[in-house]
Amino acid sequence: MDIRESVGNHTHVSLLLAKHLFSNKSKDANIVFSPASIHPVLGLITAGSKGPTLDQLLTFLKSKTTEEINSLSSQLVTLVFGDGGSLGGPRLSFVNGVWVDQSLSLKPAFKEIVATAYKAAASHVDFQTKAVEVTKEVNLWAEKETSGLIKEILPSDSVDCSTRLIFANAVYFKGDWDQKFDASSTKDSDFFLLNGSSVQVPFMTSEERQYIRAFSSFKVLGLPYKQGEDKRKFSIYLFLPDAKDGLPALVEKIGSESGFLENPA
């Protein structure tokens, strides 16, 4: 499987996750989730699974073998998720971690995958008598790798003496717009919520030409980040429904009109 097909499958899974989250959320709740964090953790679990569990994970991740998943993760970690701050591009930190109870040992083959394909640091810890300390260790790891933005990746009661293994991922991204917005052009306007109400919020505005594409019920705006000498190109894409009540169906539309979701409702 080539890299384009693998990335396409990666996107398919991301949209399925988004669809599920949006269909099960409260109208008054916000959602933030990171497919880039979920995929490597699922990949690590897949690499250590067998039998029906392995088959189910491969089906969900749209892959035939664990080698396909490991290969994609290795390429993403090496080529995409490296830090480009020194080259004038975005600052980026993408790290994986594995914590295993000291009473257990990782199989050599799995340990090699953890180290080479996922560039993850594996640590042996004492869950049985020092669960609180391990929780603090993982949280400090996440805080360091996200420059202080994520201070508690694990709630205080999420790890106890029955815990045997933790897979974790942390992502940090900070980039400057390729074309900065003029602060004096920021204007207040209506922002529509899922419950039908609206609030006044400040909107950045610009008269510059933008990357935008229109579909039947929504538009996509792409805002590139400053690249410098970094060969990679990063952009943020904003999906804008045409109608104020169009948000609930937005993920369905994105999937069906871009060809990633199967059997859209």
pLDDT at position 251: 56
Concatenating the DSSP letter of every residue in 84-109 gives: -GGGTS-EEEEEEEEEEETT----HH
Question: Do 205 and 186 contact (CB within 8 A), yes or no?
Answer: yes
Q: What would the mean pLDDT of 182-194 be, rounded to a whole number?
A: 88
- 81 residue type, one letter: F
Cα dihedral 224, 227, 231, 234 sign:
negative
Q: Which pLDDT band, with edges at 50, 70 and 90, does 141 fall under? A: very high
Residue-wise pLDDT for 73-92, tens only, equals: 888 887 788 777 788 888 88
pLDDT of residue 264 exceeding 50, the answer is no
Superfamily of segment(s) 183-258: Alpha-1-antitrypsin, domain 1 (2.30.39.10)
Percent of the chain with pLDDT over 90: 34
Domains 83-175 and 183-258 share a fold: no
Identify the pLDDT of residue 33.
Answer: 86
Structural tokens at position 247 = 């948000």
The pLDDT of residue 1 is: 62
CATH fold, domain 1-80, is Antithrombin; Chain I, domain 2 (3.30.497)
Domain borders along the chain are 1-80, 83-175, 183-258
Of 89-98, 194-203, 244-253, minimum mean pLDDT range: 244-253
Residue 244: predicted pLDDT:
61
Written as six digits, the tokens of 161 are 């003496």
Nearest 5°: phi and psi at 78?
A: -80, -45
Query: Which residue carries 């499987």 as its tokens?
Result: 1
- One-character DSSP codes across 213-251: EE-SSEEEEEEEBP-TT-S---EEEEEEESSTT-STTHH
Q: What is the pLDDT of residue 263?
A: 33
The predicted structure's pLDDT at residue 131: 95
Nearest CA to 190 out of 238, 249, 244, 247 is that of 244
pLDDT score recorded for residue 245: 54
Highest mean pLDDT among 127-136, 149-158, 174-183, 219-228: 127-136
Per 3-state DSSP, what percentage of the chain is helix, strand, and coil (rounded to 5)? Answer: 35, 20, 40
Nearest residue to 43 (alpha-carbon basis) of 103, 116, 107:
116
Looking at domain 83-175, its CATH class is: alpha beta
Of 116-125, 142-151, 179-188, 248-257, the least confident? 248-257
Which long-range CB contacts under 8 A does 14-21 form with residues at least 24 apart? 14/39, 15/251, 15/254, 15/255, 15/260, 15/261, 16/261, 18/251, 19/251, 19/252, 19/255, 19/261
Q: Which of 172, 201, 194 is nearest to 21 (CA)?
A: 194
pLDDT at 27 over 90: no
